[in-house]
């Protein structure tokens, strides 16, 4: 099933009964830009799979777009990646456009694959043996997105329409 023409409308909804400060799409943009500055992104489907092979607890979010129609190999990789994410408590967010993610992150290189972007956890001390995750170091946008993602089921993940800029 493709979501190209069936986008779920993004509303400034509530997160746990509290009015959201910004729509989900704005939180995604804020999170992506900050994670980019902090160098905690893995961009591309194959690099994401390679990263998760070595560090299954290092990703907080996995943002994906739909595979192009007829590209069954990429579709299978995406399905397996999403199943892996569900199994390892990585939040999956489907977005409407690879091009919009590229624009948000300021990449003009059209050959870079933006069909999948992993956002890593921010660690307080990446050199310790303990990979304890301090959730207090997450941004407000990341915490809002976690609350938002907790409100839907894996099989019903909506496609979020990203802002144009």
pTM of this prediction?
Answer: 0.78
* Percent above pLDDT 70 for the chain: 76
Instruction: Determine the average pLDDT of the residues in 143-159.
Output: 80
User: CB of 95 within 8 A of CB of 32?
Assistant: no
**Four-residue CA torsion sign, 31, 32, 36, 41:** positive
Instruction: Determine the average pLDDT of the residues in 77-91.
Output: 91
Nearest Cα residue to 149 out of 82, 99, 98? 82
Average pLDDT taken over every residue of the chain:
79
Confidence of residue 29 (pLDDT cuts 50, 70, 90): very high
What integer pLDDT is reported at residue 104 of this predicted model?
93
Nearest Cα residue to 155 out of 10, 1, 49, 48? 1
| Domains identified in the chain and CATH numbers | 24-123+135-160 (3.30.1330.30)
Judge whether residue 62 has pLDDT over 90.
Answer: yes
What integer pLDDT is reported at residue 22 of this predicted model?
54
* Percent above pLDDT 90 for the chain: 45
């Amino acid at each position: 099933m493709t979501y190209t023409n069936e986008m779920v409308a993004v509303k400034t909804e509530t997160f746990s009964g509290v009015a959201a400060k910004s729509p989900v799409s704005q939180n995604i943009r804020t999170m992506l830009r900050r994670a980019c500055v902090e160098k905690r992104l893995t961009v591309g489907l194959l690099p994401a799979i390679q990263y998760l092979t070595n560090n299954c607890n290092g990703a907080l979010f996995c943002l994906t777009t739909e595979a192009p129609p007829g590209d069954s190999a990429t579709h299978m990789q995406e399905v397996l990646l999403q199943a892996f994410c569900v199994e390892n408590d990585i939040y999956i967010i489907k977005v409407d456009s690879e091009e919009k993610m590229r624009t948000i992150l300021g990449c003009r290189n059209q050959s870079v694959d933006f069909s999948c972007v992993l956002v890593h956890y921010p660690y307080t001390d990446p050199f310790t043996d303990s990979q304890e995750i301090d959730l207090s170091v997450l941004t407000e946008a990341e915490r809002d997105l976690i609350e938002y993602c907790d409100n839907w089921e894996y099989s019903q993940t909506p496609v979020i329409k990203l802002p144009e800029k």
